Structure 1
Amino acid sequence: MLDFNALAKKVLEGYELTEEEGLAILECPDDAVLPLLHSAYLIRKYYYGNRVKLNMIINTKSGSCSENCGYCAQSRDSTNPIQKYRMMDKDLIVKGAARANKVNAGTYCIVASGRGPTTRELNNVIDAVKEIKEKYPLKICACLGILKPGQAEQLKEAGVDRYNHNINTSEAHHPNITTSHTYEDRIRTVNQVKDAQISPCSGVIVGMRETKQDVNAMAFALKELKAESIPVNFLHAMEGTLLEGTDELTPLYCLKVLSLFRFINPTVEIRVSGGREVNLRSLQPLSLYPANSIFIGDYLTTIGQAAKNDIQMLKDFGFEIDYNNLETPVTPKEISAGGKKFDQ
């Protein structure tokens, strides 16, 4: 078995893991997870201390997506009875930013279903971002799908700081998850936003019937892509989707995955994301030993942990909220109030 502590120290000196070492992390015995977490934490603490970044999502357009992604309740093939609505107007998006600012979420994530934004939808987001930037000290992340030429530059000019477009899975496993777009389409979009000088955010969904070799390949692919923020989602299989009933993950394996991503991508923001509540369960707090960021509030089509419980979890483990440069931190009560669903 690897000496994780020695390996972490080598990483801090600039060493890059081999594929064999990455796979060994995923295959380590369950009774070695605590030493593994300690070693991953050495890397995390070196770059981020005990700070945790808070992110909040607004689902600005739900359902009616033309893509056939097997994990998604919004896809064209899904029979899940989710709420469906067209793109929110600008005022509702700005209202969501006010709530994100109130709870000291450093990043406000504007997300929309669909293959990519229409001109009208893009202009709506651009108008909202301009107003948000005038009112609040928030970092804005947009997640609007595959971009057409020139759209990334428009978002950059409007003030978008980060663009999320997940690779979701490995290149080899991608055709088993969706066939309506290619892995190369996703890589191309991430490179478009990089070319537009927007910070690239790209992550994965673990638990979609992939192998450990696939998970290992994802971590190395995101290193090569130079993603600056990596959301690690754990599949919360939804009724009516292709992956309905899939339940492959254990809390300890999820912790191994997060540690792997920290070892391979030591300097980047790693966010424990969707599905953490149902897959990590009582071990959720341990996820922040390798990760340094979480979503607060609900996700796109699933309910997140109560925000006040997230704040208490951070406090209980001695983590510090990376407040958004506000003089007065909010209370858990205010956090909870800010985490309610937006009026539609």
Structure 2
Amino acid sequence: MAPGAAPIITAQPASATIPLDSAAMLTVAATGTGPLSYQWTENGNAVPGATSASLTTAALQLADSADKFTVTVTNAYGSVTSNVATVTIGPRAPAQRDMRFKHVELAPALEGIEATNIIAEIPGNMSEDTFTGAIGSTLMVGNQDCGTSANLTSCAWLLQEFAAPVGIQGYNSSYQADSLPNLDSDLAAVGANSVLTSLDEQNGPGFAYGVFAYSVETDPTVSDGFTMQRATVTDATLATTVSAMAAKGVVVTAASVNSAAGIDLVAYGWSGDQGTTYDAQTVLTTYVNLGPQALTLAQQGYIITAVGTADANQMLLVGTKVHGDTLPRNLAYAGFQGGGGTSSNGQIVVGYVFGNDAGNNPNLPAVEILLAQ
């Protein structure tokens, strides 16, 4: 009779970064004369009941970060122990279909398609585009690319589209420009399976009627679930209003200064996210400080959920995170005069900004700023 073969590991368990409050799944593959038995260890201690080729942990907490796992495979002819797999705890990931967070959880699998513009002309035509089965960036906001000549006012808003990852049922991304008197009726018509991801109102000199543009993400797999809330605030009431919404599970996704010098906020609750409370932080800043301020929020664990205007020379950032989550998040920015960070693969555009800080830095050339997370 031929001798039996001792176990040989053919696929080692892999180290991984796991979102806070999520389970890790580790697997091993081995050959050898059966039957094979398995015993997993965590930091050198046997895990009770972990006696198969895969291990699914309980929900992991910060204290579990850097825990080390091995598995020993045994049969009648010997045993072999795997390499160490280290589990690192990362920030909580938004639910896959939670569009309030700009699809940051899908970002590593997205591929850019192309950039395009939405145009508004008054008097004239308002443009709109819908991209089926695609994920969209926010619109460019700020001191916009608007001009007036021959009694024609024209504004343009830059955007970018991304192919949805393989295996993810497609989203639809829509972009609309319209005259300001239609703002309330347009937003009221946004469906309950959709989320407004950016809003930009233009009330500059010479804009006889005023124009605005907005972007909407739609989940075609559901018919409802997202509940829009709107509020008008001032600089003084902004922070308390946004924080109060977050404490009730409501996330601000778009903001823009309005013609009455207030700030219009658009926010959403989601039926798929009952019971979660959030922390939210707002920042009013100049154009040139937008990137560093967004980076500071990310380092504190915030996802940038809204980028908008506060007045002609200030920008508004809203960062949102699950209550108590302090783990840093990645963010890159680009486009500042004199340098700055750069966006990288594996991130999605969460903010486009165009402006020139005219009131604070009258000699500063116009800048285009991109935030990616």
Could you state the TM-score of these two structures normalised by the residue count of structure 1? 0.30
* Higher RCO, Cα 8 Å, sep 6+: 1
Is the radius of gyration larger for structure 1 or structure 2? Answer: 2
- Structure richer in helix, relative to its length: 1
Could you state the TM-score of these two structures normalised by the residue count of structure 2? 0.28
